[in-house]
Amino acid sequence: MSRGGAPPRIAAGNLTQDLDLSQDELHELLALTRELKRSPQAFGRALAGKYASILFEKPSLRTRLTFELAFKQLGGDSVTSNGPIGAREPLKDVARNLERWTHCIVARTFSQRTIDELAQWASVPVINALSDLYHPCQALADVFTLLEQFGELRGLKLAFVGDGNNVAHSLMLDAPRLGIDFAIATPPGYEPNAEIAAAAAGLAAVAGTRLEVTHEPEEAVRGAQAVYTDVWASMGQEAEAERRRRDFAPYQVTPELLAKAAPEAVFMHCLPAKRGEETVDEVIESCRSVVFAQAENRLHTQKALLLMLLA
């Protein structure tokens, strides 16, 4: 996109999950993000007169504030509602109310079905700001952070250590389409969703990249340029927290584990972090940590996403 020109469009019209972005659109979004970060003032009125409905079933710091700031910095604004979505009235009614007031629906939900049903009924774009299966906005910020760190994505290896969760799913769907090898190490019983893993394997086969699912953290991180982890018990899994602490104890990202990665490897985490569980201060506060760059880039990649959906 040339400065001041029209941004590329997302053909799907939504971002309900990562594969709503084609491979070309994924590359275009990263290029637009770079331009937005370099020259934010050039896009300051791009969404003037546009408004978003932001719906949150789960608490949020980064997601909520970066989406609200993204709209404001692009000249638009947002309204936010907290609490269960569709509890007081059917989701199809919620969607058809919101489409008449605002130009976009951003939803952070417990269930992917909520996202899909909102998209089914709303005539405005729906953005998945986190569900049980996917976290596409986080993955976009993550791959952009890697692009900033290394200058090129093709040929990198990204290792994920921990739960085969929504963040892992989104990363394993985006990585092969950008030429990144992806390895994930989980305890037995915590592997990624089988259908999503199969889709990622198909993408990797087409791209000529490697996809590895293992139970050995050292094997996953060997030679990796990025080592990623996430909390062991996500929101909604509090009842499993003690069992998960036992099961995941061998999967903590320590300085010793990070040392088995490539010498230039960075440490990544989507935050919030449970320090002393999935990682330790010596890692997250080290010079190899890019966790706050990831958090900053949530703002920039989401601005690019909004422009491609709404401008």
DSSP string over 117-176: HHHHH-SS-EEES--SS--HHHHHHHHHHHHHHHS--TT-EEEEES---HHHHHHHHHTG
In a domain, 2, yes or no: no
- Same structural domain, 258 and 126: no
pLDDT of residue 228: 99
- Same structural domain, 269 and 161: yes
In this structure, the chain runs to a length of 311
In a domain, 8, yes or no: no
As a whole number of angstroms, the distance between CA 227 and CA 253 comes to 8
Q: What pTM was computed for the model? A: 0.96
- Same structural domain, 278 and 150: yes
- Same structural domain, 193 and 111: no
Domain of 236 in residue numbering reads as 138-294
- Same structural domain, 124 and 160: no
- Same structural domain, 288 and 305: no
Question: Element (H or E) spanning 53, and its range?
Answer: strand 51-56
In a domain, 46, yes or no: yes
Cβ-proximal residues to 87 (8 Å cutoff; 6+ apart), any chain: none
Q: What is the pLDDT along the chain (311 residues), one digit of tens a residue?
A: 444 568 899 999 999 999 999 999 999 999 999 999 999 999 999 999 999 999 999 999 999 999 999 999 999 999 999 999 999 999 999 999 999 999 999 999 999 999 999 999 999 999 999 999 999 999 999 999 999 999 999 999 999 999 999 999 999 999 999 999 999 999 999 999 999 999 999 999 999 999 999 999 999 999 999 999 999 988 778 888 899 999 999 999 999 999 999 999 999 999 999 999 999 999 999 999 999 999 999 999 999 999 999 98
- Same structural domain, 153 and 246: yes
- Same structural domain, 90 and 121: yes
- Same structural domain, 56 and 193: no
**What's the order of all strands across the beta sheet hosting 211-214?**
211-214, 181-185, 157-161, 226-229, 266-269
- Same structural domain, 143 and 290: yes
In a domain, 5, yes or no: no
In a domain, 1, yes or no: no
In a domain, 34, yes or no: yes
**SS3 state at 13:** coil
Q: Looking at the annotation, which residues are catalytic?
A: 108, 135, 138, 230, 270, 298
In a domain, 6, yes or no: no
Please state the domain count of the chain.
2
Query: Angle formed by the axes of helices 194-207 and 166-174, to 10°?
Result: 20
Compute φ and ψ for 168, nearest 5 degrees: -60, -40
In a domain, 11, yes or no: no
- Same structural domain, 158 and 35: no
| CATH code for the domain of 74 | 3.40.50.1370
Residue 272: count of CB within 10 angstroms of its CB: 11
Strand ranges in 200-277 using DSSP code E only, listed in sequence order: 211-214, 226-229, 266-269
- Same structural domain, 236 and 114: no
